[in-house]
Structure 1
Amino acid sequence: MRFRTAPFLVARAFRIVLWTVLAMARVVLVLALPSRRTRAERVASEVVRLAEKLQGAFIKVGQLLGTRADLVGTTMARALGALQDDVTPMRAVHARRAAERALGPLPGELARALGGRPVASGSIACVYRAELDGLAVAVKVRRPGIERAMSADIGIVKALMRVLGRLPPLLRVPLDDIAEQLGECLIRQFDLVSERVHLERLRRDLADLPEVVVPATVPEWCGDGVITMEFIDGLDRTMTDRLPATVRETGMAVLVRAVYRMLFLHGFIHVDLHQGNAYIRRDGSVIVLDAGFTYQMTPDARLKFTEFFAGMVQGRGDECAEILLSTVRKVASGADVAGFRRDVSELIARSAGLVADRFSLSSFSVELFDLQRRHGHFADPQFVFPLLCLLAVEGAVKRHHPLMDFQLEAAPYLMHGLLTEPSLD
């Protein structure tokens, strides 16, 4: 799909700058308020308002930050949480037209459902509850025009990456590769036909974990821009906070095991596991939704990442350094290989064996990236995607199960993954 016409790109960039400047002006006024709590709430509200205005990739960034109260603070994270399933919905007439284009004439019940308020509203689509042939279903309908806005954002990010890539500190960082892979991943979110395939695959991959539920799709009511699946009642992203601590901890352990199974056994990554896509129920089971933002690692990258994580868990810094070196795409002239090995080993030694409230994956990732830059060695850009997945999950773990041994939980899946031949599922 090609939507990035030059005039639209320029207009989109202008709107981004304009709305951002206006938001910053309002924030300056808010900072003059006497109450610190009121200031924090109003600033968070302005950030959410700006993300909703900008739409596209900005909502995706807001969703990820909403999972990281440890990074942005509780007030900001709570406000950004609304971007996970409570974005301003599309107009009813647009939802009906999109469904008619995909499915043809709509049965009365479905037309009525699309004329009402959605049960969830995200950055790419809105979800409506309907009854079809006596079955309660969730009908996900893509927003009109979202492809063009998101595609323009990706074009802007790529242009920015090219500019940043000319700066001396980032001269040999594979920013273009990272931006290209991330852009392709985001573009695939528009394709609800592919999402249906990914959702069905996710259901198969996690079938051995009975405590993880992935809704079944309803193929006869799926089409271009519409995906229909079984409706799961009682989902509320705020409910996790109200559950007993033991239930939250059980649910977090289940979610982490599901993520590790996807990463280390299949290399198939759900990049978007915020609280609008992963729900803990009262019995400690977990519902996983929305397979739009996914990424399939190559067989070799899946094995290398598994080996690296296994080395980190066991504190084998020298092995981790060698694994990273084996995936290097770019090497600076005069690169310090010995210094790279030394600093990776030291980083692993400081990180191994820490429980969730003492280990920060975001800090670890930043430091790992920085030492690659300093020593002129840059590992496979595909590693960005499992790290994004783990960053989102880590935020929930820190909040709901801070004493979890995030690394030790991975052990059985790492062992299985290391014994699995590198091949695409």
Structure 2
Amino acid sequence: MRFLSLVVRTFAILAVLTGAMFRYLGRRLVSGRMDADARDHLRGQVLVSALDRLGATYVKLGQILSTRPDIIPEGIVRELETLQDNVRPIPFAQVQHVIDQDLPPAARARIVSIDPVPVAAASVAQVHKGVLDDGQVVAIKVQRPLAAPQIERDLVLMDLGARVLEWIPSLKLLSLRGSVAQFAEAMHRQVDFEKEASNNRRFAANFADVDGVGVPALVEDLCSRRVLTMAFVDGVRATEPEKVGGDRKLLARRGAGAIQQMVFKDGFVHADLHPGNILLTDAGEVVLIDLGLTAEIPKDLMRPFIETFHALSQKDGKAAARLFYVYAPTVGTKDYAQYEREVTEYFDTFYGKPLGELEASEVVTGIMNILRRHKVQIDPSFTVVHIAMLVAEGLGKQLDPDIDLIEFATPMLLEVVVTAPPGRAPEREVPGAAEAARAAREAKAARRAARRSAQAE
């Protein structure tokens, strides 16, 4: 039965991909000559349409790909960023069935009422508002009954496809199976609400001493692998900041500060961070939700991360180029001098501009374009940081147009760079660095010898 399901799904995927290919070719013929940027946008539009038709696993794949501007052209990234995980809700009877299966009778008895109309519905789960026997209003997140098996089926097919493609010599170096394995791990976390509950507790501890920032409090005895119950937060999603009734400048600083703390202090980052997963309250609180996907920055990468962002904030192109290069998992550039020159010249365009006139998104996006051209890959953890910083800036600018994220982050960077643990050894040296260092040592030794000779005379 499972084999038949895989076969049917394979043909469905092939049909969607074939249709996408013909749509792309047809639009190219109609449009005539196109520049590279226009072609990338067209490819992105066709890809988004195909991923959307293929369902939850592929929508999430597209969303993750949208965080890799170091390897994917900017035009395609912009289109992938439009992917939304919004679907029609399942019947409430199915929701109730999952609750009945997963929660013991004593726990279920605490739920006095559940609104059958969900407040949010996505491909993996939907959220219903409920009331407990003590009067507490809660949000009950319930997994769709078929979500896990459908995702598992797609992951099996992705792994099979990666195995086949790695027979092609030019693709073997891409480590497709490793990439699929990483993606599979992320998807498994999405359908394990016990893992999300664990993430919730960790974020709650990290933000315990931060005013006005937090996560919804869990109702522990009403949580399971497929059901997550937490305090209902009466807030506005950051996608609609104009509806916020609180102090917008305060919210901007709290939101930006929360994201910077995740990145630079805690090293534990919300990996599905976008305005829809941030709630803003009239009381001036910033609440993070949907905590299934997280990224942990390795401790031995914290110092390189901080030094890189410090170089960006100081507009030090030469230092930024070196740090990206020596810590890159893989590099394909044949001309380091040209790569360094492009990064430095790009940074030169910012000289003379006050920090308040710079946007972190502009600086980082330009750097990513150069890294992609020179095939300097960045550590996957950095892409999560990149997205987090872009969200921080976007949220901050919407709530307070005068906020300057780079200047706002500088004091924290200076603080943590002193306390960060020693970083890991670089993956490689800058070409010519060893020879230059040896020449410097030899020159220094020659000067010492000359001084000793002069003293002896």
1:341 is aligned to 340
Contact 2:342/2:370 (<8 A) preserved: no
Cα 1:364–1:153 change in 2 (3 A) is farther
Instruction: List aligned pairs for 1:30-109, cutoff 5 A.
Output: 51=52, 54-58=55-59, 61=62, 83=85, 87-105=87-105, 107=108
TM-superposed deviation, 1:295 = 1.1
Contact 1:273/1:393 (<8 A) preserved: no
TM-superposed deviation, 1:55 = 2.4
Cα 1:88–1:103 change in 2 (3 A) is same
Partners of 2:341 and 2:79 lie apart in 1 by: 40
* Pair 1:213 & 2:214 matched: yes
Question: Where in structure 1 are there 5+ consecutive unaligned residues?
Answer: 33-43
1:298 is aligned to 298
1:223 is aligned to 224
Amino acid at match of 1:355: L
Contact 2:302/2:420 (<8 A) preserved: no
Listed one character per residue, the Cα deviations across residues 356-408 of structure 1 (whole Å, up to 9, x for unaligned) are: 3972644442332332x1xxx43433322222333444554565555532322
Listed one character per residue, the Cα deviations across residues 247-300 of structure 1 (whole Å, up to 9, x for unaligned) are: 545433322211110011111110212232102233443121121011112111
Greater Cα offset, 358-367 or 294-303: 358-367
TM-superposed deviation, 1:88 = 1.5
Partners of 2:79 and 2:185 lie apart in 1 by: 32
Listed one character per residue, the Cα deviations across residues 24-73 of structure 1 (whole Å, up to 9, x for unaligned) are: 999999xx9xxxxxxxxxxx9xx7897376223415746997xxxx9899
1:203 is aligned to 204
Partners of 1:19 and 1:153 lie apart in 2 by: 14
Cα 1:390–1:160 change in 2 (3 A) is farther
Instruction: List aligned pairs for 1:275-424, cutoff 5 A.
Output: 275-332=275-332, 335-350=334-349, 353=355, 355-356=358-359, 359=362, 361-371=364-374, 373=375, 377-397=376-396, 401=400, 403-422=402-421
Partners of 2:20 and 2:328 lie apart in 1 by: 41
Question: Where in structure 2 are there 5+ consecutive unaligned residues?
Answer: 31-44, 67-73, 423-457
- SS in structure 2 opposite 1:89? coil
TM-superposed deviation, 1:324 = 2.4
TM-superposed deviation, 1:195 = 0.8
2:426 is aligned to none
- Of all paired residues, the percent bearing the same amino acid is 26
- Larger of the two Rg values belongs to structure: 2
Listed one character per residue, the Cα deviations across residues 69-93 of structure 1 (whole Å, up to 9, x for unaligned) are: x98999998x866x3xx53222223
Listed one character per residue, the Cα deviations across residues 124-166 of structure 1 (whole Å, up to 9, x for unaligned) are: 2111222223322211112222223334445566646984996
Cα 1:272–1:76 change in 2 (3 A) is closer
Instruction: List aligned pairs for 1:233-244, cutoff 5 A.
Output: 233-236=234-237, 239-243=240-244
Cα 1:415–1:357 change in 2 (3 A) is closer
Cα 1:176–1:391 change in 2 (3 A) is farther
Cα 1:14–1:103 change in 2 (3 A) is same
Greater Cα offset, 381-390 or 294-303: 381-390
- SS in structure 2 opposite 1:229? strand
Instruction: List aligned pairs for 1:173-192, cutoff 5 A.
Output: 177-192=178-193
Partners of 1:14 and 1:330 lie apart in 2 by: 35
Instruction: List aligned pairs for 1:133-148, cutoff 5 A.
Output: 133=133, 134-148=135-149
Partners of 2:250 and 2:216 lie apart in 1 by: 21
Amino acid at match of 1:356: E
Cα 1:325–1:367 change in 2 (3 A) is closer
Partners of 2:240 and 2:287 lie apart in 1 by: 13
Partners of 1:110 and 1:175 lie apart in 2 by: 46
Greater Cα offset, 134-143 or 388-397: 388-397
Amino acid at match of 1:289: I
Contact 2:118/2:127 (<8 A) preserved: yes
- SS in structure 2 opposite 1:290? coil
Cα 1:391–1:123 change in 2 (3 A) is farther
Partners of 2:339 and 2:157 lie apart in 1 by: 33
Partners of 1:64 and 1:220 lie apart in 2 by: 36
Amino acid at match of 2:143: R
Greater Cα offset, 412-421 or 204-213: 412-421
Greater Cα offset, 212-221 or 228-237: 228-237
2:69 is aligned to none
- SS in structure 1 opposite 2:129? strand
Give the alignment partner of residue 15 of structure 1, picking from 12, 15, 18: 12
Partners of 1:167 and 1:349 lie apart in 2 by: 40
Partners of 2:279 and 2:102 lie apart in 1 by: 29
Listed one character per residue, the Cα deviations across residues 201-250 of structure 1 (whole Å, up to 9, x for unaligned) are: 11121223212131111111111211211111244565423347x95454
Cα 1:157–1:337 change in 2 (3 A) is farther
Q: How big is the alpha-carbon RMSD for the aligned residues of Structure 1 and Structure 2?
A: 4.3
Partners of 2:409 and 2:383 lie apart in 1 by: 19
- SS in structure 2 opposite 1:345? helix
Contact 1:215/1:231 (<8 A) preserved: yes
Listed one character per residue, the Cα deviations across residues 317-343 of structure 1 (whole Å, up to 9, x for unaligned) are: 2222332233233345x8433333333
User: So what's the TM-score if we normalise by structure 1?
Assistant: 0.75
Contact 1:264/1:414 (<8 A) preserved: yes
- SS in structure 1 opposite 2:274? coil
Partners of 2:402 and 2:150 lie apart in 1 by: 41
User: So what's the TM-score if we normalise by structure 2?
Assistant: 0.70
